[in-house]
Structure 1
Amino acid sequence: MFDSLKSGQITIEVNALMPEKILNILWNNEIYTCNIIRVNLTTLRFTIYYKDYKETEMLIKKHKGKVRIVRKKGLVVLLSKMKSRISLLVGVILFFVVIYGLSNYIWAIDIQTQRNLSPFEIRQQLTSIGIKPGIDKSQINVYDLEKKMENLNDQIMWIRIRVEGSTLKLVIKEKVNPPSTEKTLFNQVIAKMDGEVKRIYTNSGNPAVVPGDIVKKGDNLILPIQGREGFQIEVKPSGTVIANTFYEKFMEVQISGDKLERTGEKSSDIYLSFYGKKIYLKKAINEFTNYDKIEEDGGFFNKVTYFEKKGKPVNLDKDITVKESTQKLEDSLKKTLSNDAKIIDKKVTVDDIGNGKILVKAIFTVEQDIARNIS
């Protein structure tokens, strides 16, 4: 029995013209056989040790016989089957070990807020107290964390924090401030921006300003009364107030020296982040002298890309560059103005800021309606 468990046994069927002759050959080669059964005239079934199978098969085929395995048994047979699947078994074990290890960490933070608080703001505050993806669950006490968040943000009325799987979930209720007791004055025409009054056109109401006045945003422009003193009546004011308003824009331009530009070459790091430790899947060979570095933080899976930059000689005409830059600034401003606004003047200054760079500043005077009707 011990030898059977140690060596293993195989039951085979041998088909030959003279199967007894093959049996004698096996005995002559000291190959142990047992449980011999004649199946038919040309076929014998018997059992041999697993370790003798290769030699038995060779002898049978040498004497023009055919062999077929009927059954296998024994510990060594089981081990041979497991050997072919050992890599799969190891892979499965490693998979569950990794999954178990990762399950002890927080990999996602789910934040539910209401109207005024943004998840981004809450995430920043969590980071400031050390709570971020990759942290060990054992380092988180949800009740202490709730108190800390309430102390950090006075807009939080109530907060519930729980760990669900590998996700930290926050549900936040915000404080609702009481409505303002200040009375809002209706039926007004006020200035929506600073400016110098040029012309006033009233549909109803008396002007509160005259041409040449400098007004600030929120100043009253048209009074809710109409008529001369002693003959005044209350009306809903409306009208148009044309004023000169002022916008400042600037642009930094390189006109000489070398300008760094991307060449199109790039390299990247790809790594997994476990609680502050990095496991690199790919390491960049960064031989670039100058480069842009772009980091993509995915919490668990991260990437850093390096874009090579090389200097290209720049030699631009200063006057032409200033003119083109001023036009670009003006075009940029026009996109923000209403259709009735028009640019009536511009003052341009140029400062040399070194390293072949200049700073083009332009102050534009824009004539537009600054009246805002509140009703």
Structure 2
Amino acid sequence: MIFNKLSLGQITIEVSALMPEKILNILWNNEIYTCNIIKIDLMTIRVSIYFKDYKEAEMLIKKYKGKVRIVKKSGIIVLLMKMKRKVSLVIGAVIFFIVIYILSNYIWAIDIQTQRNLSPFEIRQQLSSIGIKPGLNKSQIDVYAIEKKMEDLNNQIMWIRIRVEGSTLKLVIKEKVNPPATEKKLFNQVVAKMDGEVKRVYTSSGNPAVVPGDIVKTGDDLILPIQGREGFEQEVKPKGTVIANTFYEKFMEVQISGEKLERTGEKNNDIYLSFYGKKFYLKKAINQFQYYDKIEEKDGVINKIIYFKKKGKTVNLDRENTIKEATQKLQESLRKTLSNDAKIMDSKTTVENIKDGKILVKVIFTVEQDIARNIS
């Protein structure tokens, strides 16, 4: 082949042998041109030879128990060999650009912008009737002629502009405005009453505005007051159910060790009369309690201040059991606030150490429930 005949490239090799000078003599005796000879160490030399002589040189070196390693390649022959390996890639790239160029001469999409009354489906059907559809060559498109035909076909079009942008035919249509109707039926809305992740949507009227997996915020539309496919929509009263995962956070502070103050049952009180913001005591208690709860009872003229004695009590509770009981109490508290159809699906508990033997139990509950709310 032509690549075997070219001698325009050089290759630098390292030769390792017991007597590298003897290897050089053998190469010279076999008329192999060498240059740039460098002695690396006692048993290794570096030498440059022609690319075409490499196979013969390698055979001679191995014949005389030497080792050869390629260090560097240079020259036109190396470039040609690299190009030979990449010729399929080059051809593929050329074909790719040719195909892109050919495809760019055609219309592959039609973008239609209408207003309130005309539907894109109706305009697309009318374009198809005059032969305008995806796959049409740009040279066959006269935008001004199409604008005139569309105005003749549809009497609701007041103004139309058609332009070719890349491989897309873009239509912008302004509609004729009809006099407003004297009466208009107002339809309700179905919106989210809380944040959540949509799981299931059931509609008896209207089209769903969300799908399972959507994250919605309070007030987002869930069911649209429109029913039917594109081009055949009609306004309806939306109605349905949207089941979503909602999230509630509750927490409780619990003391599991140390000393806790509790009421002993012993109490004392003050009794006084109140006139124009001044107090006249009928009975003044001598409060000798170190720790107490103070509760004031106002009942018009005669009022009381009650002191409940409190005393320290040693607390030593099992941490895990206490956390479990606190989680159950929080769940029961949440259940009282939920509707009958709501289900608690999951809970995640975290615990923080506060001080003086107290812990803060936080629970995030995942509740599956209907979040749809009708508003008018």
TM-score by length of 2: 0.49
TM-score of the pair, normalised by structure 1? 0.50
